[in-house]
Amino acid sequence: MATQIKGPALFLAQFAGDEAPYNSLKNIAEWAAGLGYKGVQIPTFDPRLFDLDKAAESKDYCDEVKGTCQEAGVEITELSTHLQGQLVAVNPAYDSVFDAFAPEKVHGNPKARQEWAVDQVKKCAVASKHLGLSHTVSFSGALAWPYVYPWPQRPEGLIDEAFDELARRWKPIFDHYQEHGQDIGFELHPGEDLFDGATFEMLLEKVGNHPACMINYDPSHFVLQQLDYVAFIDIYHERINAFHVKDAEFNPDGRQGVYSGYQGWVGRAGRFRSLGDGDVDFNAIFSKLTQYGYDSWAVLEWECCIKSAEQGAAEGAPFIASHLIEAPAKAFDDFAGGERDEKQIKGMLGL
């Protein structure tokens, strides 16, 4: 019986490399299929796997990409513009760091870098349509993040202006996506202005509840914030267009907590883990998403400071597969009720 949620699938960004089988889409798709994955999420920012400029210009190229994946035994789940989306909005404090995500020709030129990023994100909408998809995933970027903690006291209006500007930058992109039958699921992530439900709502309100503004649900970031990631689904299920299956753990002690004391990943109180090695209750998550009708992909985004990527990928496919739920064709107690004609129903009521 088919499951409502599709999977397992794999986000390829953490695995792409210069050596086989990670150095081309054909090779990495075949490797993923060999591990039991049925779908792959493609990072559009890695030219070893995907040429975004070409994909936006040529449906023939996109047909070739689809064919490559199909021959390997996987489907394309979504295209990712995480790195380009990050550059749509950059606080000057991070200019030099984030230049690394952009071509050298725009380094040291924030305006040119932003224009390049917006163009890239818009091209993804066209490429996704060429591939026959309707969902994409990304980051929102950040203008207000350096002020996430209210000390020193934030000047009145600072955060509101930051989100006004974020809306001014993303609204035309959302319009472009809607015109092409696409949407963008933001991964709510520390370092982005959209990092939890409250901040997502702030942007959503300022863009008029735009239908293209969606959520790529990833519980791992909520564990590290100590946010109720199951209740989150209750609140925002209608806005969830994609799902990163990613684990994390939070082990506070007498020395550190949520902020993790500038420690490296191994020594942090909050850290990402391979599937099944962290604290995330995936039984509850898959049940809740199924309950609300989520029918897109469950995509492993692997990150772990203890286990190797190869082991994490190998263990990830069966882990996700074991959590997929076959929705019942009828209510479990259907045998006790059944159909009744009007006369029988009235008789049951003594009428």
In a domain, residue 59? The reply is yes
What does pTM read for this prediction? 0.95
Question: In this predicted structure, what is the pLDDT of residue 350?
Answer: 85
- Given a cut of 90, whether residue 341 has pLDDT beyond it is no
Question: In this predicted structure, what is the pLDDT of residue 347?
Answer: 84
In a domain, residue 1? The reply is no
- Given a cut of 70, whether residue 338 has pLDDT beyond it is no
**Distance between CA 62 and CA 44 in Å, rounded?**
12
- Given a cut of 80, whether residue 331 has pLDDT beyond it is no
The answer to whether 10 and 316 have CB atoms below 8 angstroms apart is yes
The answer to whether 114 and 87 have CB atoms below 8 angstroms apart is yes
Q: How does DSSP assign 129-197, residue by residue?
A: HHTT--EEEE---BSSGGGSS--SPPPTTHHHHHHHHHHHHHHHHHHHHHHTT-EEEEE--TTSS--SH
**Distance between CA 277 and CA 164 in Å, rounded?**
40
**Distance between CA 102 and CA 74 in Å, rounded?**
29
Question: In the Cβ-directed half-sphere of 327, how many Cα atoms lie within 13 Å?
Answer: 15
Question: In this predicted structure, what is the pLDDT of residue 342?
Answer: 86
Q: How far is CA 346 from the centre of its chain?
A: 52
In a domain, residue 339? The reply is yes
- pLDDT band at 335, cuts 50/70/90? low
Average pLDDT over residues 27-32: 98
* Number of CB atoms found within 10 A of residue 157's CB: 9
- pLDDT band at 243, cuts 50/70/90? very high
Average pLDDT over residues 200-213: 98
Question: In this predicted structure, what is the pLDDT of residue 345?
Answer: 82
* Domain count within the chain: 1
The answer to whether 250 and 269 have CB atoms below 8 angstroms apart is yes
What are the structure tokens assigned to 297, written together?
């992909």
Partners of 217 in the β-ladder:
243
3-state DSSP assignment of residue 337: helix
- For 264, the enclosing helix (H) or strand (E) is none
Average pLDDT over residues 122-132: 98
**Distance between CA 37 and CA 315 in Å, rounded?**
11
In three-state form (DSSP H/G/I as H, E/B as E, the rest C), the secondary structure along 25-90 is: HHHHHHHHHHCCCCEEEEECCCCCCCCHHHHHHCHHHHHHHHHHHHHHCCEEEEEEEHHHHHCCCE
Q: Which residues contact 52 (CB under 8 A, 6 or more apart)?
A: 44, 45, 120, 123, 124, 127
- Given a cut of 70, whether residue 337 has pLDDT beyond it is no
CATH code for position 203: 3.20.20.150
- In terms of residue numbers, what domain contains 338? 6-349
> Is the bond leading into 152 cis (omega within 30 degrees of zero)?
yes
Q: How far is CA 163 from the centre of its chain?
A: 21
- pLDDT band at 351, cuts 50/70/90? confident
Pairing of strands 297-300, 240-245: parallel
- pLDDT band at 16, cuts 50/70/90? very high
Closest CA to 196 of 218, 212, 165: 218
The answer to whether 311 and 274 have CB atoms below 8 angstroms apart is yes
**Distance between CA 235 and CA 210 in Å, rounded?**
17
Q: What is the mean pLDDT of the chain?
A: 96
In a domain, residue 50? The reply is yes
Task: Identify the residue with better confidence: 221 or 331.
Answer: 221
**Distance between CA 299 and CA 313 in Å, rounded?**
11
**Distance between CA 225 and CA 199 in Å, rounded?**
13
**Distance between CA 156 and CA 130 in Å, rounded?**
45
Question: In this predicted structure, what is the pLDDT of residue 336?
Answer: 60
